[in-house]
Structure 1
Amino acid sequence: MTETTTPAREAFLAGERLEDVALFLATDYVDDDRLTGYGEAVDDGVVIVVDGERGRNAFKAATGTDAMGFARSAMEHEGIIDGDLTGGTCPEEPPADEDEGDDEHGVQFIFAFAEAQNEEVGGIYADGDVVHAYAQCRCGTAYSDRWTV
């Protein structure tokens, strides 16, 4: 599948939809073709960008997990989440040269929101809007990443 980003995901990633959340649900985690009607089909799943409340409810319905509780637990481990919100690298995943080719690692789902620039807070928040992203790996590890838009 050739991936093209929808205007909703582009706007979210540009920090233009601060009231919304983005969800990525991997096909091997949630196999429901109806989801593509609510979002954007990507190679390994679907990305949905919706207003915050609906997004948190959709996340709970799809994963059985409270979005903000999941985010708090994922903050315990820093990993790498792809800037397009369609994958990542688990902090428990061995380096590529040590990888034995098993399928233990891979993103099952991602929950993300963007926060407006806040110079008073400092750090990366002073540099621009910040995307906060939280992922769940197949191995069971939840991890987080954040970056400036």
Structure 2
Amino acid sequence: MSDPRAAFLAGERLDDVALFLADSYVSDERLEQFGDRVDDGTLIVVDGERGRNAFQAATGTGAMEFAKSAMSNEGAIAEDLTGGQCPDAGDGEPHTTQFVFAFAEGQNEEVGGIYADGAVVHAYAQCTCGTAFSDRWNVSEAATQ
């Protein structure tokens, strides 16, 4: 696949990471030269090390530290990685995804569960309310939905 985002979402770029940065969080037109302009932001797919560095530069937080903090709070992240549904939504306050960090892990039958069925996307998001949350899904399931 020549489209980096489609290849990432298909589980074909396991050494890369994806970053979504909302316009409301980072307003820098230079981002578009590194990724795809999407509704309300920019989505970048880049090799893991560069992506983690870019994430830290944009958010001020280490990517893996952020993922660890978000891991225990499950929410729903859009399978195109451009937003999500904060688990704290419904409290009458505005909830908008500021950024998403994601990576894909290859099929691993030994681990079992969804990992036995194919590559798994792990996604972590930050909401404007301050809540960090996570989601994960099997690539083959996402492709059929």
Per the normalisation by structure 1, the TM-score is 0.90
Structure 1's consecutive aligned runs of 4 or more residues displaced over 6 angstroms after TM superposition are none
Residue deviations 1:40-84, cap 9 Å, x none? 000110000000000000000000000000000000100000000
Tell me the secondary structure at the aligned position of residue 35 of structure 1.
helix
Q: Which residue pairs with 2:41 in the alignment?
A: 45
How far apart are residue 39 of structure 1 and its match? 0.4
Separation in 2, partners of 1:23, 1:39: 9
Amino acid at match of 1:122: G
Establish whether residue 20 from structure 1 lines up as the match of residue 16 from structure 2: yes
Separation in 1, partners of 2:72, 2:116: 23
In the TM superposition, what are the counterparts of 1:1-149 in structure 2 within 5 Å?
7-94=3-90, 100=92, 102=93, 104-149=94-139
Count of paired positions: 138
Amino acid at match of 1:16: E
Separation in 2, partners of 1:76, 1:108: 19
Separation in 2, partners of 1:85, 1:44: 12
Separation in 2, partners of 1:50, 1:14: 15
Per the normalisation by structure 2, the TM-score is 0.93
Amino acid at match of 2:134: S
* CA RMSD, Structure 1 to Structure 2 (Å): 1.1
Separation in 2, partners of 1:31, 1:133: 22
Amino acid at match of 2:71: M
Tell me the secondary structure at the aligned position of residue 12 of structure 1.
helix
Tell me the secondary structure at the aligned position of residue 47 of structure 1.
strand
Separation in 1, partners of 2:22, 2:107: 30
Amino acid at match of 1:143: F
Q: Which runs of 5+ in 2 are unaligned?
A: 140-145
Tell me the secondary structure at the aligned position of residue 55 of structure 1.
helix
